[in-house]
Amino acid sequence: MKQTAGTLAVVFLALSTSATAIASKVWEHSLELYGLGINIDGSTSVGRAVGNDLDVDFEKIRDNLEFGGMIHFESFNTQENWGVFFDYSFMNLGKGRPGAIGVTEIDVDQAVLEGFFTKRINGKKSRTDLLLGLRWWDNDLELTIDPNLLDSDFTTKVNEDWIDLVVGVRTFIDLDDKWTLALRGDIGGMGLESDFTFQGMAGFQYKLSEHWSLDFQYIAIWVDYETGEIGRPGYYEYDTVSHGPLLGIIRKF
By residue range, what is the domain housing residue 132?
2-252
In this prediction, residues 64-87 reach a mean pLDDT of 87
Domain count, the chain: 1
Q: Is the pLDDT of residue 79 over 90?
A: yes
**100 and 52 in contact (C-beta within 8 Å)?**
yes
Q: Which helix or strand (DSSP H or E) is residue 41 part of?
A: strand 39-46
Candidates 91, 87, 100; CA nearest to 58 is 91
> Greatest CA separation found in the chain?
68
Q: What is the CATH number of the domain that holds 180?
A: 2.40.128.100
Q: Is the pLDDT of residue 250 over 80?
A: yes
Candidates 67, 236, 227; CA nearest to 143 is 236
In this prediction, residues 3-7 reach a mean pLDDT of 49
Give residue 69's pLDDT.
78
d(CA 161, CA 152): 27
| Single-letter residue type at 74 | E
d(CA 8, CA 215): 17
> For the chain, how many residues are written?
253
Higher-confidence position of 7 and 225? 225
Q: What's the pLDDT band for 29 if we cut at 50, 70, 90?
A: very high
**116 and 85 in contact (C-beta within 8 Å)?**
yes
Q: Is the pLDDT of residue 208 over 60?
A: yes
**234-246: per-residue pLDDT in tens?**
788 889 898 889 9
In this prediction, residues 195-219 reach a mean pLDDT of 96
Higher-confidence position of 107 and 137? 137
In this prediction, residues 1-24 reach a mean pLDDT of 50
**118-149: per-residue pLDDT in tens?**
999 999 999 999 999 999 999 887 766 655 54
